[in-house]
Chain A
Amino acid sequence: MYGYTGKVLHVDLSKGESSVEEVDEAYCRKYIGGNGLGTRLLYDHAPAGVDPLSPENPLIFAVGPLAGTTAPTSGKYIVHTKSPLTGFLGEAVSSGYWGQALKQAGYDAIVIKGKSEKPVYLFIDDRKIQIRDAKHLWGTDALEVLDLIRDEIGDDNVSSASIGPGGENLVRYANITNDRHRQAGRTGVGCVMGSKNLKAVAVRGTGSVKVADMEGTLEHCKELYDLCQGPLTGAYRSLGTQVSVMIHQNQAALPTRNWQESVFEFAEKIGGEYIHPRWVVKTIACAGCPIGCDHVSLVQEDPEGEVLASVEFESIYALGSNCGIGHFPDVNKAVDLCDRMGIDTISAGVTLGWAMESYEKGLLTKEDTDGLDLKFGNSEALLEAIEMIAYQRGKLGKLLAMGTKAAAEQLGGDSWKWAMHNKGLEYPGYDLRGLKMSCLGFNTSNRGGCHLRNSAYDWDLKGKVDRFTASEEYGALVMARDDHYSITDSLILCKFSRGVLDTYEKFAKIYNLVTGFDVTAEELRQAGERIWNLEKAFNVREGWTVKDDYPAYRIMNDPITAGVAAGHLVTEEEFKMMHKAYFRERGWAENGVPTKNKLRELGLHYIADEIGVEDE
């Protein structure tokens, strides 16, 4: 096969064994790679109802057929597991150089099961698999460990994906870090890695990636690179995602102080336009990316020494406006600390925002916070609390390490009313009360509150739909985006290429040049739908019911207080109306479960028997 290696590596950490499974062309075509492949492997290898932190929960890394080629933004990988944060599908995408290394080592995916008795790291040295002692690495931060492993092996071509103290200490939203500034950030994939006593997966790949039509691929990539340097990606290249701070601010869509407000008085001071001339020192790109969106900031005025960090919009929202912090050097430092600790900045910032509101409302007292004055805007307390979370230190650290949903359940009172999550996954920085298509799209996401399963916000913010009006039409629009992004995440391409690779025809062209297949746009669309249904089937198997999709209480009850969206919220009735329309479009039953007919139509026969419901 071209593009694919046709190999899945299985590692059992309990037994210290590994084996290689061959997958054929039909299987690759059906699940594409990346997200599709990883979800299929998760469905097959996770026992139904598995405890996410038990050795039986698999941790799966997958790359796409385009990884290691010149296809624009293709150097990505995706991690799947049952999430310890949500109890549903755990899924997180990262980029950098690691994915390319795994493809060169000769694998499309790795399935890691079991649990090592002591800390170890996995070294995939092409076909040679070693489980190495990591006692001396346990406790190191998520960035320094990458250099330590590279130096220990003695080869700059080694790329590692690792956890920090957060993963080691089972913070429910711990992430996996590679190549210094890239993370598989969401749903606690690093927590599962920590539960297996697995510090890192180091890869040295020396093999070649073969494509069916080399000249055709190079020529086509040249065209795509030119487009990637044009207006379709301009914002990513000039200011990066940091540009969104002021866009959201002006639309009253920038969640502030745990979503009590949607406009932040210091937004300007943490926005891209302000940050760039002062602190941004370099723009870097991931392997195979012709765009380059990572605008690295260096803050030299810190008394404890200079801080170099990769700070994108979601982190600025979560640890900035959402915690009432309006001084960029403080945000930069908080992001760097989260990155070193190996915890997701979005979940950390939203959980801390929830804690700050609970503190100001008197539900959390100084006794609960170990004396920390956890009010909004206190950046010293924020930094201290991040460390407490990563090490599960004190009552506060243990409480917040559970994530917003579980923490609110434990704290009790009314605190669940300001717990800003869906299915346990903390929301990203889009105030859904005035972005009604997004409200449907973010809450029907199979991994919980997420902007990257369909980017419905593009429709709301760019005025393609009336953002303040709930509509049944959003059902079809969101579904189309879900399925499209399922292919983006399976090939795997970066979401930031979406203006350039925006149709199934364009996906098919690059996919066929690389693989030599002759897939049609319609075949890819159906594969996208198949992958989305497969994800959903996993969630249904793990206990999903219709209420799990409902937006957070605040979105349905506390209107936006100021700005152009003042007075808006999404009522329960509005959400239910859009939700039903979405299920209808998907051909699912009224209770939101895929029907046997739909699953069979998509070629998911035994899953149809396991979880499908009869047509109504």
Chain B
Amino acid sequence: MSERRAVYSDPEKCTGCKICELVCSGEKEGVFNPLLSRIRTIRLNTIVNTSLACRLCDDPTCVNSCPRKALSQDETTGVISVDADKCSGCGWCIEACEFGAIALPSDRKHVIICDLCGGEPRCVDLCPQGALSLKNAEETSQNMRKKAVSNLLKAD
């Protein structure tokens, strides 16, 4: 788990522009439509902004919950694959995911999940604020340590 890199969003840098949603749908579906995006932006009360995509959990609740075994996880990358033939669009995995990282677009009967664009996510590449990055657990905690120290000591 610790070596796997997921798309990580920094709420301090995220402005809520939703460009990642457009980029993702453009890359994966060939059209612009946030509802077809594997990453979604949330804005709460103006000042809380961040984006969420698959966290590549170990022993993932979505895979475990699927009654048709339509979801499977790559052991190395942690990416969850959806077998479109097996998936019935029941949405059980959507409820099981603790991050809201799974979507079921109204125009199809199978769910969609971030696949990291084969290791180079387009959303990370285009995020204008540098709020998105591909990080593993250690990189994320190092980032948090730096922020914590910076805040505590009021230093940059």
Contact = CB atoms under 8 A, between A and B. Distances in A.
A288 B33 contact: no
Interface stretch (B57-65, B77-85, B121-129, B141-149): B121-129
A282 interface: yes
Interface stretch (B2-10, B11-19, B108-116): B11-19
Interface residues of B, number: 28
Interface string B85-125: 00000000000000000000010000000000000001001
B46 A208 contact: no
A398 to B, nearest CB: 34
A228 to B, nearest CB: 6
B15 to A, nearest CB: 4
B48 to A, nearest CB: 8
Contacts of A72: 128
Contact of A296 (B19, B35, B47, B128): B47
A541 interface: no
A308 B45 CA distance: 10
Contacts of B32: 68-70, 208-211
A217 interface: yes
B36 A208 contact: yes
Nearest to A224: B128
A310 B46 CA distance: 10
A291 B19 CA distance: 11
A285 B129 CA distance: 10
A159 to B, nearest CB: 11
A208 B25 contact: yes
A503 interface: no
A33 B122 CA distance: 29
Interface string A274-307: 0000000111111111111000101000000000
Interface string B23-35: 1011101111101
A288 B47 contact: no
B71 interface: no
Determine which residue in A70, A217, A289 has the highest number of CB atoms from chain B within 10 A of its CB, and name it: A70
B51 interface: no
A292 B129 CA distance: 9
Interface string A122-165: 00000000000000000000000000000000000100000000
Contact of A70 (B16, B23, B45, B49): B23
21 contacts: A68-B32, A70-B26, A70-B126, A104-B33, A180-B46, A208-B31, A209-B32, A210-B32, A218-B26, A218-B27, A221-B126, A222-B125, A222-B126, A225-B128, A229-B128, A282-B46, A283-B15, A284-B46, A284-B49, A291-B128, A308-B46
Given A68-B22, A209-B31, A229-B128, 15 more contacts: A70-B23, A70-B26, A97-B18, A180-B46, A209-B33, A210-B32, A214-B30, A218-B23, A218-B27, A222-B125, A225-B128, A285-B15, A286-B17, A287-B17, A296-B47
